[in-house]
Every structure is written in structure tokens, then in C-alpha cells.
């Protein structure tokens, strides 16, 4: 294994130290345990948005802390949930008196630890609501989750809830926006090559020269099936059709299309996938009203991509378009 690190045990800490130095205008960072908090937190009267989970998916979540999105992100060790303690610290740091929303990807460890933290925060007088993202349509459950896994759709839930909080919605209203986003988002991915975990130094699973993992998870969990490698358009059709069927997209729906790289996939290839995904969606009579193409929710250096579709309405479109200023996503004032 060759990786740009010193000791695998120091990767997350040293990476957070670099992140803190690079983005001191945006965030305050603690490293053991890891915690990234918006520099101006708590914002009085604003609902705080807290997310987190195992490291190795960057820019998710730490790259999305800042005005218009998360107030805090709690990174665990690689592919390992953070414990309740730093989550509680995050809740205390961001509560501006309007309560806190936890956005949690549906993995057993994350759900449990955020739940425990929420109970502790409630005991401390902080109102906490939780939404669990479970956008991965590939498998009904996995080795890491009861029910569907939370994957790239999490980015969109964080953006939309973050914008709702930023415009001044109260905790119930922000939670309702987040739930609407969760209800309206679906994802499926494909891996061409596994990522290499820093501790083991080995790929997290083995694929043959001409083999892919359809419906792969972001920790290298098995997907729907192994199949022979094929043309990008055919693979994309498989992903898009599964996502659209599950989301029950119909003619005249407006959707957001996110094509997300899993870590080692050249941007040129992501645009090839985007091209076909968009054609396929439009063949169904739906409209791709917003688009995002890039590496946002990764799995170390996995090669592959996922396709995410979110059903939009006028309000969600406005929230998506609202300014955001984070290390990983930035536009507007």
C-alpha cells in the first residue's frame, strides 16, 4: 500500500489538523476526538445542524460545515462511528437556543451513537430532532445497517436542511424539510475497484479484471451483485432505472441529478455517466432541473460512481440554490 500518510493511526488527526489550518476562517477544529464546528457557532436563534460518521468519505461531512449547511461535523475513525461524547460536545457548541437537528446516515453504529448523544443533549436542556438518511436502493439491508444504507443523498439532505436553518426556520420546520428530502432521494452506485483501507493496507474487497460490484456501499459492503464490466451507458441505465423506479418518478417531475465519484474516478468519466443518466431521465419525461457532478461522498480511493436523484419542488429548489460557504461546496454571497 502506498498512501500519503505517516502512520495510519495518525491519518484522521493529521488530516483534521491540515483541514483546520486551511479553513481557519470557516471552522474551529478539535482532533481527539475529532470535531469540526462552524467558526461563528452558536448562531443565536438559528437551528443547529449536526452530522458526522466514520472518516474516509471526505469531503462528507467535515467539508460541508459552514454558513448555509452544517454547524458541526463529528468525524470518527476511518469507517467507524464517532462516540456519543463528541456528538454531545457538538450539540452544545452549536445550540443557539433553537435546538439541534441530527442528520445521520443509516448505519447501526451511527444511529446508536447519535441516539445516545441526543438523549444526553435533551437531559442538558437542548432540543434535538433526528433524521436518518437511507437513500441507497441497492440492498434492503446490509452488514452495517438495519434497512437501507445512507450514502450520497446525505449531501443533499444536509444542503437543504442547512438552507432552511439559515433562513430562520424553527426546529420543526427544518426537520420537516430534512424529512421531505430524505423521502424524496434515492441513490445507487457501482464499484470498479475497491478502496484501500489505511489500517489493513489492502483493498476492502477483491474484484476480478472484468468484474464490477453493482450497488456497492461506501464502506466496501457487498452490493446487489457482481457482474461483468460493461459499457458506461449500460451500467448507468441499470443505476438510473433502479433509482427512478424506486422513487416512482413520473412524467413532468422536476429532479436534481447528482453524479458522485467514489474517490478515484476521473471527472471526465463522471460526465460520461451524467450524460447518459440525464438522457435516461428525460426519456421518462422528467426534467433535470438541477445538477451536481463531482466527488462529494467518497469511499477512500474506490473507483466507481453513484447516481442520486432527488425529487424537487419550488421550495426545495430555492433551498438548494441558497448561498453556501463551506470547504467542499461553495456558491453565492
Catalytic residue chosen out of the listed positions 23, 61, 102, 219? 219
Asked if residue 61 has a cis previous peptide bond (ω within 30° of 0), the answer is yes
Q: For its own copies, give the closer residue by CB, 39 or 120.
A: 39
Q: What is the CA radius of gyration of the chain?
A: 19
> Per CB under 8 A, which of residues 64..123 are in contact with its own copies?
none
Q: Which of 50, 300, 316, 322 binds its own copies (CB under 8 A)?
A: 300
Q: Total residues at the site for its own copies (CB under 8 A)? A: 63
CA 68, distance to chain mean position in Å, is 16
Catalytic residue chosen out of the listed positions 57, 61, 199, 325? 57
Is residue 151 near its own copies by the rule CB under 8 A? no
Residues 6+ apart with CB under 8 A from 31: 12, 13, 16, 17, 20
Is residue 2 near its own copies by the rule CB under 8 A? yes
Residue 102 CA neighbour count, 13 Å, CB half? 31
Is residue 124 near its own copies by the rule CB under 8 A? no
For residue 13 the three cell numbers come to: 488527526
Q: What are phi and psi of 128, to 5 degrees?
A: -125, 135
Is residue 332 near its own copies by the rule CB under 8 A? yes
> Per CB under 8 A, which of residues 307..326 are in contact with its own copies?
325
57 carries an active-site annotation: yes
Is residue 214 near its own copies by the rule CB under 8 A? no
**Interstrand relation of 225-228 and 185-193 (parallel, antiparallel or unpaired):** unpaired
Q: Which of 85, 254, 269, 318 binds its own copies (CB under 8 A)?
A: 269
Q: For its own copies, give the closer residue by CB, 45 or 332.
A: 332
199 carries an active-site annotation: no
Which residues does residue 185 pair with via DSSP β-bridges, in sequence order?
310
Residue 207 CA neighbour count, 13 Å, CB half? 28
Is residue 272 near its own copies by the rule CB under 8 A? yes
Single out the residue of 181, 177, 163 nearest to residue 324, CA to CA. 163
Q: For its own copies, give the closer residue by CB, 58 or 169.
A: 58
Is residue 265 near its own copies by the rule CB under 8 A? yes
Question: Which residue numbers are catalytic?
Answer: 57, 219
Amino acid at each position: 500500500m502506498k498512501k500519503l500518510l505517516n502512520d495510519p493511526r495518525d491519518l484522521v488527526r493529521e488530516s483534521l489538523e491540515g483541514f483546520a489550518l486551511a479553513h481557519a476562517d470557516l471552522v474551529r477544529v478539535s482532533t481527539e476526538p475529532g470535531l469540526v464546528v462552524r467558526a461563528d457557532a452558536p448562531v443565536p436563534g438559528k437551528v443547529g445542524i449536526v452530522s458526522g460518521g466514520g472518516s474516509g468519505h471526505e469531503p462528507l461531512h467535515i467539508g460541508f460545515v459552514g454558513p448555509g449547511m452544517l454547524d458541526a461535523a463529528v468525524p470518527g475513525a476511518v469507517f467507524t462511528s464517532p462516540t456519543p461524547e463528541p456528538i454531545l460536545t457538538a450539540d452544545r457548541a452549536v445550540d443557539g437556543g433553537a435546538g439541534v437537528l441530527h442528520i445521520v446516515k443509516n448505519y447501526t453504529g451511527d444511529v446508536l451513537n447519535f441516539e445516545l448523544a441526543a438523549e444526553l443533549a435533551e437531559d442538558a436542556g437542548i432540543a434535538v430532532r433526528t433524521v436518518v438518511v437511507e437513500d441507497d436502493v441497492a440492498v434492503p439491508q446490509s452488514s452495517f445497517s438495519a434497512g437501507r444504507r445512507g450514502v450520497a443523498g446525505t449531501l443533499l439532505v444536509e444542503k437543504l436542511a442547512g438552507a432552511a436553518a439559515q433562513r430562520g426556520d424553527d426546529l420543526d420546520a427544518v426537520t420537516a424539510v430534512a424529512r421531505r428530502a430524505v423521502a424524496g432521494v434515492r441513490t445507487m452506485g457501482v464499484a470498479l475497484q475497491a478502496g484501500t483501507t489505511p489500517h489493513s493496507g489492502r483493498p476492502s474487497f477483491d474484484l476480478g479484471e472484468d468484474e464490477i460490484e453493482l450497488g456497492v456501499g461506501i464502506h466496501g459492503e457487498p452490493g446487489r451483485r457482481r457482474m461483468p464490466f460493461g459499457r458506461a451507458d449500460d451500467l448507468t441505465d441499470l443505476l438510473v432505472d433502479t433509482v427512478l423506479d424506486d422513487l416512482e418518478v413520473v412524467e413532468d417531475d422536476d429532479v436534481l441529478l447528482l453524479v458522485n465519484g467514489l474517490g478515484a474516478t476521473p471527472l471526465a468519466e463522471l460526465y460520461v455517466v451524467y450524460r447518459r443518466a440525464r438522457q435516461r431521465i428525460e426519456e421518462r419525461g422528467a426534467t433535470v432541473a438541477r445538477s451536481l457532478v463531482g466527488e462529494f461522498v467518497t469511499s477512500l480511493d474506490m473507483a466507481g460512481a453513484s447516481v442520486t436523484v432527488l425529487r424537487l419542488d419550488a421550495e426545495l429548489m430555492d433551498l438548494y440554490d441558497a448561498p453556501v460557504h463551506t470547504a467542499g461546496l461553495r456558491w453565492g454571497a
